[in-house]
């Protein structure tokens, strides 16, 4: 069996920067309140009138990743696209990537695991490569949150957190089993599904019903998050997923060269860093600039850390995420 390894990374962020002060003009909030609770200073939101969507941003990030991998679009055998904000209710964004990049009629798979989307997507791609079914797989995480946020005081607890953006990685075969992705670990606990959710539109709560009711108090189509509850579970599950990966590979906390956590909340990352006794240069955070980009956050952070020279050959890199579902997971790789 093969291992898989990442050979190309790319990211794309909209040009439109939205600061905490900008949000204070839309809702009752301020920079100090947002930074104290989340660590976020600004985020990127797609500006109305631009071409960007989840699929378009994903395609832009993918072009960079493919070029950096030294490949062409025709070398890609399969697409895995992770998002909670697809351009359409259906079909998913994966097929749009095949069209936007003018690829051959390769398969395209969509992952709907929200904040853990990229970790799940990488694990799927890794298994396809391990079995020899595919050689080069394009994995994308992309989110267009800003179009579905409640930009008012009522929605501030969620709205101040989320940003738009995309990242992509190209995975390929690695014959040396001591290199590349060593293991992935995935978990879920569906009884907490409604602690972080969008209840509608859905098959049970379809768009015409919302439009017909025209109820200003109906918030079911905006994201809801029980923030304190999610935070308490996140710090526990993050730690469990990381420890599970280390134990599987006979590694210790001290062996981590770079931890890339899902950028959910800077306070969660700081808690995990302290618990594992990691230095600042062993944990990469960019939530301050981009907010929580959900399925895109891990891949954007991984790409940025690599671009800044903070990940080098031979490093043990850990990806970890927790989010809606609840779902959580980790990926251990030798760069």
**Residues known to be catalytic:** 115, 262, 292
226, 195 Cβ separation under 8 angstroms: yes
- Which DSSP string do the residues of 78-99 spell out, in sequence order? EEEEE-SS-SSSSS-HHHHHHH
How far CA 232 is from CA of 191, 228, 265, in Å, comes to 15, 6, 12
Q: How far apart are CA 335 and CA 260, in angstroms?
A: 13
CB 140 within 8 A of CB 167: yes
Q: How far apart are the first and last CA of the chain?
A: 19
Question: Containing H/E element for 121?
Answer: helix 117-130
A 10 A CB-CB count for 186 gives 17
Q: Which residues lie below 8 Å from residue 32, measured CB to CB, with a gap of 6+?
A: none
């Amino acid at each position: 069996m093969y291992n898989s390894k990442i050979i190309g990374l790319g990211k794309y962020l909209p040009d439109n920067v939205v600061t905490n002060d900008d949000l204070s003009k839309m809702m009752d909030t301020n920079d100090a309140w947002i930074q104290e609770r989340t660590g976020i200073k600004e985020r990127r939101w797609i500006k109305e009138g631009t071409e960007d969507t989840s699929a378009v941003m994903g395609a832009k990030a993918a072009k960079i990743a493919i070029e950096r991998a030294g490949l062409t679009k025709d070398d890609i055998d399969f697409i895995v696209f992770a998002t909670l904000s697809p351009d359409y209710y259906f079909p998913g964004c994966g097929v749009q990537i095949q069209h936007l990049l003018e690829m051959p009629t390769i398969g395209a798979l969509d992952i709907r695991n929200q904040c853990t989307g990229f970790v799940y997507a990488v694990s799927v791609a890794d298994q396809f490569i391990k079995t020899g079914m595919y050689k080069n797989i394009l994995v994308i995480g992309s989110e267009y949150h800003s179009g579905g946020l409640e930009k008012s005081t009522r929605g501030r607890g969620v709205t101040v957190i989320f940003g738009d953006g995309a990242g992509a990685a190209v995975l390929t075969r690695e014959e040396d089993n001591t290199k590349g992705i060593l293991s992935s670990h995935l978990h879920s606990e569906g009884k907490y599904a409604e602690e972080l959710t969008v209840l509608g539109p859905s098959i049970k709560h379809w768009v015409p019903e919302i439009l017909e009711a025209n109820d200003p108090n109906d918030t079911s189509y905006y994201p809801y998050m029980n923030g304190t509850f999610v935070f308490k579970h996140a710090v526990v599950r993050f730690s469990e997923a990381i420890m599970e990966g280390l134990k599987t590979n006979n590694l210790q906390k001290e062996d981590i060269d770079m931890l890339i956590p899902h950028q959910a909340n800077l306070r969660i990352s700081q808690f995990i860093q302290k618990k594992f006794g990691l230095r600042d240069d062993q944990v990469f955070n960019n939530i301050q600039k981009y907010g929580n980009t959900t399925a895109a956050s891990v891949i954007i952070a991984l790409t940025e850390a690599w671009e800044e020279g903070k990940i080098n050959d031979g490093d043990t890199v850990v990806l970890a995420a927790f989010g809606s579902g609840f779902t959580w997971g980790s990926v251990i790789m030798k760069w």
